[in-house]
Structure 1
Amino acid sequence: MRLVLTGLIFAGGLMFLLIGIGFLIDPASSGVDFGMKADGPQGLSTMRADMTAFFVVAAVSMVLGAWRRNGDLLLVAAALFGIALTGRIVSLIADGTYDGFAFPMLVEAVTVIVLLIASRVLPHRIG
């Protein structure tokens, strides 16, 4: 079970790292995949900074947590994706649905569940 969880988290972390690097290099193209359109340099800067930060921090905590078998590090990414999922739920209630709304919610929910399970299964560092 540990090996499977570690592999899933490592693979997911690498995928999220590539997404984050995509936002750093070409935020306009990456934003289209997420339903975002930059409104000039300020929008590009915000997408480049915020989306890169979100995905790279999540990815690094996932990869390091899996590599070091450290369940505590996985809680960082679980919190990020949990908050993102909460925002999507609020938006679903406030704004309604759109084509393809369920897929990102499913990805975030599965990511949170896998990370929370792994955070309990993998050892915790004390001190």
Structure 2
Amino acid sequence: MVWIARIAVALVGLFSLAMGLMALASPVQLGTTLGIGALTPLGLNALRADLGAFFLASAIASALALFAGRASWMWGVACLYGLAVAGRFLGILVDGAPEGIAQPVTVELVLVVLSVFGARTLGRS
């Protein structure tokens, strides 16, 4: 079971790292992928900084859980992605369900489940 948890944490970390690096290297592409855009240079900077911080913090926490034996850091990752899911559900309630919402909600829910599974399982080993 520990190996499955390590794979789960690695998948969360790799996804987060890929998205974080995309935010730093190509925020316009990340914005397009996520359905948001930068209207001004300040918006472009916000895409790079804010989304980069979100994803890279998750990647770093996943790496600490995986390589430094700090499984409890995965609770923070679960919290970040869980808050993203909560924000999406709030948006659905307030504004209605936009086209294509199922994919990001599903991805984020899977990341929450993998993070919780990793935190619980690696925390016991």
TM-score w.r.t. length of structure 2: 0.92
- Other-structure match for 1:30: 30
Which structure is higher in RCO with an 8 Å CA cutoff and minimum separation 6? 2
Find the aligned partners of 1:25 and 1:53 in 2 and give their Cα distance. Answer: 13
TM-score w.r.t. length of structure 1: 0.91
Letter in 2 for 1:114: L
Instruction: Give 1:9 shift.
Output: 1.4
Instruction: Give 1:29 shift.
Output: 1.3
Letter in 2 for 1:91: G
- Other-structure match for 2:112: 112
Instruction: Give 1:67 shift.
Output: 2.3
User: Which sections of structure 2, spanning at least 5 residues, go unmatched?
Assistant: none
Letter in 1 for 2:56: V
What RMSD in Å do the two structures reach over aligned CA positions? Answer: 1.3
Letter in 2 for 1:120: R
Letter in 1 for 2:40: G
4+ residue runs over 4 A deviation:
none
- Other-structure match for 2:42: 42
- 8 Å contact from structure 1 (residues 20, 52) kept in 2: yes
Instruction: Give 1:58 shift.
Output: 0.7
Instruction: Give 1:70 shift.
Output: 2.6
Instruction: Give 1:104 shift.
Output: 0.8
